[in-house]
Structure 1
Amino acid sequence: MCGIAGILHTGGQQVDESLLAAMNDMQLHRGPDAGDYLVEHQIGLAHRRLSIIDLEGSPQPMQSACGRACIVFNGEIYNFKELHEELSAKGHKFNTRGDTETILNAWLEWGEDCVHKLRGMFAFAIWDRPSKTLFMARDRLGIKPLFYTLLSSGELVFGSELKVLTRHPQFDKTLRKEAVEDYFSFGYVPDPHCIYQNSFKLMPGHTLTIKPEQKGLPEQREYWDVPVHWDHQIDEHSAPDELIERMKEAVRIRMVAEVPLGAFLSGGVDSSAVVAMMSQLQDEPVNTCAIGFDVEQFNETEFAEMVAKRYQTNHRVETVSQDDFDLIDHLAFLYDEPYADSSAIPTYRVCELARKHVTVALSGDGGDELFAGYRRYNLHMHEERIRQMLPLWLRKPIFAPLGRFYPKLDWAPRFLRGKTTFQSMAMDTVEGYHNSMSILRTDERRKLFSPDYVESLNGYSSLAVFRKYGDKVAHLDPLKQTQYIDMKTYLVGDILTKVDRASMAHSLEVRVPLIDHKFVEWAFAIPSALNLSGGVGKRMFKKSLEPHLPDDVLYRPKMGFAVPLSNWFRGPLKDRLYSALLSEHMAASGFFDMNHIRTMIDQHVRNVRDYSAPLWALLMFESFYRREIGGELK
């Protein structure tokens, strides 16, 4: 696990070595063990290393034995030994015993198709000297990040974090207007865009090929997607045994390391499943860690203890105070662009705890998207049953007025909080899911934003992000559609981003077996009726795990990794809300109706409405804006 960076001068000019080194230093936390760079006139490659395999060898940037190509690489290739044997048989030379050189020789043998051979998490860039080609690739599910931009000077700049790019003195900090709309819908800026107008994320399962003589940036090319047509049938009776064997194999290949290894154990189904598999695959106890809260409704540690006792793990727990909000500004630094998932705080803390004892940790991320575990899927399918009974032309005149005039009863029992549901019922499947998923619904965003900003969007809506993916899977049933949308948006933009930045802040490598691409290719074919049935999500997954985990872990209500935002904003953070969100630089940004922000704060503080999620989104935006823009739009 590392950090990569680079500069390609498309006009042929010499790369500035000192600037490349300074950019690379911005991600020192990603690789404290070693760092180096290589400059050859118009190309410069840089690397920060966190040593996991081949601790003394595999320095980067690494050149192929024949001298034709050079690579910088972030990630882990789990099938590198098999590839090593295959490539050696084809006559390729190896000077190291790690996975980096395997990618280099795969490039020499198969060119751009080398990505199809790789099993793992990765972001890498290869400079091919004879053809003067820069080839960049990102893993299939987007576990490892890669950012890039083309500057007005003709320099293509890339890095593992956006802060690497912003270190360049010519970086354009003009904000992308549409990204602000996206952020206040989703809580993150979805791929391939960034908060900045001319910067991009290489999308999961995509590559990019750049030649210096090209004008402008080439299109990203997709080499893999979550499968939506299947050549295998999953039988309810035989599937549990096959699921366990496939999951165990995905876990096993991620347990290879030459440094201490462990796992996160939250007490939820997914992390517990990973720990159960690890415990059955090694003789010594698994190192596990968990974060607890001093507020009972947010604390899951008793369930983690059940799993830890069952498998006799070396379990460590630390308790986080309900007032652990000192990380707000530090999170803005870590994430580089607005990021509104408040569980970034406990995620940061659990990575901090894990790094005291291990260098590699396995996590259970991705299970909810793959097996339909989120509560929102059940609610969405209730709505979908009504959509299927009543055509849109009939639903719209009935539910649209109800959604418009029904009050937002945050304080009421759940069955009376119908405003969002009524709105969604007047929409089709994709728009309804977008409405339910948004931090602020479309009508709420229009109240938050200034009229001038709304006009500048020229009709753009964040719904376009969901439409793009929804259109690709319109032939699937509604549950599979929403799972696919989440895997392309929420999983990569929120969950995996959160874990990458939090873990790398502590130089901790996190591996994610439940989204091993071969496991996904098999498991995403599980029929929706076996994933969600009788209001129970992950039905097949939980059934498969019954011999391995207690029922109290498998079938308890989902809790989530939350923090008490609502209480913070009515107590210790109240003054900060007023001072930060009503500041001069927020007003000067031109994005917001400042009177509406004041109303939101006032109503939340008086307990009239629960605006905790949008207020947190605003607070994180303010912290980013103050730090990166300095209160002025550039």
Structure 2
Amino acid sequence: MCGIAGIYKIRGGNVPLNALEEMTNLLAHRGPDGRGIYFDDFIGLGHQRLAIIDIEGGAQPMSDMTGRFHLIFNGEIYNYRELRKGLEAKGHTFRTNSDTEVLLHCCMEYGERCPEKLNGMFAFAFWDKETHHLMLARDRSGIKPLFYAQVGDDFIFASEIKSLLAFPGYHREVNIDVISFYLAHYQSVMGEDTLFKGIKCLEPGCTMTVNSEKMRRKRYWILPIVPEGEKEDKGEDYYIQGVRDILRRSVERRMISDVPIGAYLSGGIDSSIVVALMAESSDAPVKTYAIGFPEDGFNEFYFSNQVASAWGTDHTQITIEEEDYFKTLIELIRFKDGPLSVPNEVPLYLMSKVLKESITVVLSGEGSDELFGGYGGIMRSPIDYLRSLPDSNVPKEHRRLLNKALVRMYGKNEFDSEIDHFLWVYSWMKPDDLRAVLNDEVAKQTRDFSNLRIFWQHRYNRLKGLDMYNKYLYLMESIHLQGLLGRLDATTMAASVEGRVPFTDVELLEFVSRIPWRYKLHWNSPMYENMCARLHAWEIAETLDTTKYILKRSFVDKVPPDVLFRKKYSFPVPLNKWFGKGLLSEFLAATRSELPDFLDRDGIINWVSRDASADKALKVWMLLNLVLWYNEYFVEAADMEKGLELAAVM
């Protein structure tokens, strides 16, 4: 795992080496084991290395023997040994045992088709010195980040935004569209757009080619869109065996390493399955890690200890205090170059710092919920929309009870459209919240936040062949998961740790996409579907149905029952207790300075004063993050620039 940065002088000229070195140095936390620079008359490539495979031979930037082709690479290629055999058969020769050299030769042999051959997590830049052709690529799920911008005739790119901010000539400006997206959906990347205007994110499953004539982005892979009617039901036993075999292979691939490895063990089903499969493939006890708060109800140690005991792991349990949490908040914002998405990012980072003392690679359970349908209320919620339609098959005698249930959950019993329902379900801050906390100018720029609807509608329209349940699952996997993977990358790489994600293996993604819906979200009894007229989706979920049914059935013999069948809970953080003195006073005390122009101070005061629910505490936490990020990246950065200008004059 590494950090990469580059400057491409599209028209040629001297590469600003000082800028390249600064951009590269800012990524030192991603790779403290080595640093390398390459430059010629058109390009400069920088690399910070975290040595994982072939410790001695994998240094970068890496060049072929002729000096024509050059590569910088962040990630791991799990099928590099198989690829190497195929390339050797085509006449390629190798000097090292690294996956980096295999990737270099794969790019030389296949060009833009190279990423299609890869099973792994990656973001890389491949340079052809002879043709002045640059290719960037990112893995299918977006595990490894890659950002870019064009500043005049310079094309710049890096693993983290901070490197691009350091490039002379880039002018910082807030992207208002993404501000509203962050508050609504707790993600700081909206498609290819980031919180910084002009800085783009190369989307998952994409390549980008750049030369003096054009810049072209191409999607080499999309998550398969398989309508329910096209799925051949091969029976529960077939899917159980397939999931077990493929996930075992996925875990084994991700255990390839020349440095010590371990796993997060939260006490949930996903990390527990990963740990069980690791334990079966390991001769020594697996090193596992869990973290939580001392407050009652704010840790899952009981469940993680059950799994650790069942599989004989070398288990470390970490407890953090409120003081540790808030002290670390701004530190992690600086690493992430954006506001945190969810409160558990701080514990994940603190856990990464502890485990770095013993291991360098950690396996994690992200991707399972999005793949198998693990968000109970959201995944069951299409039933609410479909039953609300005038022509639904809800008996008249049940309609009154159903309407009460819908009003109880949504505050209304009908929706304008499917996308209207999805936005209600998937928005943390609803439009009324956004209107309260953001100023009128933001509402004007975003056309009263219709930018959010347009973003989702565009993606929803691509899924016309899918039923509503599968549309929701597809959006969670193709978009929501990116936020979780960004969280994993930020919280691990900040501590110089590599996070690996078995549930994102391409073989698993393509297999599970063809599993019928009833094996993902499964009614516990055939009669329950017709007995729930008085209940909304969140009252049904994980009571009358089972989420991730086929995954649980696949590993019923590997995971303790208390863990396997318990309801899903987000990582608990005691925000409400910490903000108990008063949400408003805590928020205003924490921000101290003037709020950013896009926030409405009076509106926030009125909005916070209305209630102090648990939901409101999390929303205030998001606003706090946004203010801390803005002050760090715009207010303090502007003060620093003014100081430098004054120093230059004196």
TM-score by length of 1: 0.91
The structural deviation recorded for 1:213 is 3.6
Q: Does 1:476 align with 2:477?
A: no
Give the partner amino acid of 2:350.
R
1:546 is aligned to: 556
What whole-Å deviation, never above 9, does each CA across 1:239-261 have from its counterpart, x for those lacking one? Answer: 11221011000111111101001
The structural deviation recorded for 1:68 is 2.1
| Greater CA drift, 42-51 or 166-175 | 166-175
Secondary structure (helix, strand or coil) at the match of 2:97 reads: coil
Q: Does 1:221 align with 2:208?
A: no
**CA distance 1:472–1:485, shift in 2 (3 Å):** same
The counterpart of 2:547, out of the listed 537, 544, 556, is: 537
The structural deviation recorded for 1:441 is 0.7
Are 1:37 and 1:45, in contact at CA under 8 Å, matched by a contact in 2? Answer: yes
1:386 is aligned to: 387
> Following the alignment from structure 1 to structure 2, what is the Cα–Cα distance between the partners of residues 424 and 195?
35
> Following the alignment from structure 1 to structure 2, what is the Cα–Cα distance between the partners of residues 571 and 330?
25
> Following the alignment from structure 2 to structure 1, what is the Cα–Cα distance between the partners of residues 412 and 432?
10
1:454 is aligned to: 443
2:366 is aligned to: 365
The counterpart of 1:596, out of the listed 586, 589, 603, is: 603
> Following the alignment from structure 1 to structure 2, what is the Cα–Cα distance between the partners of residues 600 and 330?
28
Give the partner amino acid of 1:243.
V
What whole-Å deviation, never above 9, does each CA across 1:174-225 have from its counterpart, x for those lacking one? Answer: 11221112111111222311111111000000000000243xxx34210001
The counterpart of 2:495, out of the listed 494, 506, 519, is: 506
**CA distance 1:66–1:91, shift in 2 (3 Å):** farther
Secondary structure (helix, strand or coil) at the match of 1:242 reads: helix
The structural deviation recorded for 1:231 is 7.4
The structural deviation recorded for 1:559 is 1.8
2:163 is aligned to: 164
What whole-Å deviation, never above 9, does each CA across 1:231-289 have from its counterpart, x for those lacking one? Answer: 76542132112210110001111111010011111010000000111111122211111
> Following the alignment from structure 1 to structure 2, what is the Cα–Cα distance between the partners of residues 378 and 326?
36
What whole-Å deviation, never above 9, does each CA across 1:138-185 have from its counterpart, x for those lacking one? Answer: 000000000000013x11110000001001121121112211121111
2:624 is aligned to: 619
Give the partner amino acid of 1:223.
Y
| Greater CA drift, 10-19 or 139-148 | 10-19
1:89 is aligned to: 89
1:407 is aligned to: none
Secondary structure (helix, strand or coil) at the match of 2:47 reads: strand
> Following the alignment from structure 2 to structure 1, what is the Cα–Cα distance between the partners of residues 613 and 18?
55
1:284 is aligned to: 284
The structural deviation recorded for 1:49 is 0.2
Are 1:132 and 1:211, in contact at CA under 8 Å, matched by a contact in 2? Answer: yes
Number of aligned positions between the proteins: 605
2:537 is aligned to: none
Give runs of aligned pairs for residues 194-233 of structure 1, distance below 5 A.
Answer: 194-214=194-214, 218-229=215-226, 233=233
1:412 is aligned to: none
The structural deviation recorded for 1:543 is 0.9
Secondary structure (helix, strand or coil) at the match of 2:569 reads: coil
**CA distance 1:328–1:87, shift in 2 (3 Å):** same
Contiguous gaps of at least 5 residues in structure 2: 393-398, 524-544, 642-650
Identity of aligned residues (%): 32
| Greater CA drift, 463-472 or 614-623 | 463-472
The structural deviation recorded for 1:609 is 7.7
The structural deviation recorded for 1:430 is 2.8
2:182 is aligned to: 183
| Greater CA drift, 32-41 or 375-384 | 375-384
Give the partner amino acid of 1:501.
A
**CA distance 1:119–1:431, shift in 2 (3 Å):** same
> Following the alignment from structure 1 to structure 2, what is the Cα–Cα distance between the partners of residues 516 and 27?
27
| Greater CA drift, 234-243 or 107-116 | 234-243
Give runs of aligned pairs for residues 302-381 of structure 1, distance below 5 A.
Answer: 302-323=302-323, 324-381=325-382
Give runs of aligned pairs for residues 424-463 of structure 1, distance below 5 A.
Answer: 425-458=414-447, 460-463=450-453
The structural deviation recorded for 1:496 is 0.5
Are 1:10 and 1:156, in contact at CA under 8 Å, matched by a contact in 2? Answer: yes
> Following the alignment from structure 2 to structure 1, what is the Cα–Cα distance between the partners of residues 110 and 629?
42
1:70 is aligned to: 70
Are 1:372 and 1:483, in contact at CA under 8 Å, matched by a contact in 2? Answer: yes
What whole-Å deviation, never above 9, does each CA across 1:74-113 have from its counterpart, x for those lacking one? Answer: 0000000111111011011211110111111111111100
Give the partner amino acid of 1:597.
I
Give the partner amino acid of 2:373.
A
> Following the alignment from structure 1 to structure 2, what is the Cα–Cα distance between the partners of residues 235 and 66?
54
> Following the alignment from structure 1 to structure 2, what is the Cα–Cα distance between the partners of residues 29 and 434?
37
The structural deviation recorded for 1:428 is 2.4
Give runs of aligned pairs for residues 91-110 of structure 1, distance below 5 A.
Answer: 91-110=91-110
Are 2:522 and 2:547, in contact at CA under 8 Å, matched by a contact in 1? Answer: yes
**CA distance 1:608–1:615, shift in 2 (3 Å):** closer
Alpha carbon RMSD of aligned pairs, Å?
2.3
> Following the alignment from structure 1 to structure 2, what is the Cα–Cα distance between the partners of residues 571 and 469?
42
> Following the alignment from structure 1 to structure 2, what is the Cα–Cα distance between the partners of residues 234 and 277?
25
> Following the alignment from structure 2 to structure 1, what is the Cα–Cα distance between the partners of residues 362 and 155?
34
TM-score by length of 2: 0.89
Give the partner amino acid of 2:553.
K
| Greater CA drift, 232-241 or 275-284 | 232-241
Contiguous gaps of at least 5 residues in structure 1: 392-397, 403-414
**CA distance 1:498–1:442, shift in 2 (3 Å):** same
| Greater CA drift, 137-146 or 609-618 | 609-618
Are 2:583 and 2:620, in contact at CA under 8 Å, matched by a contact in 1? Answer: no
The structural deviation recorded for 1:502 is 0.5
1:556 is aligned to: 566
> Following the alignment from structure 1 to structure 2, what is the Cα–Cα distance between the partners of residues 68 and 537?
52
> Following the alignment from structure 2 to structure 1, what is the Cα–Cα distance between the partners of residues 70 and 278?
36
2:193 is aligned to: 193
The structural deviation recorded for 1:426 is 1.1
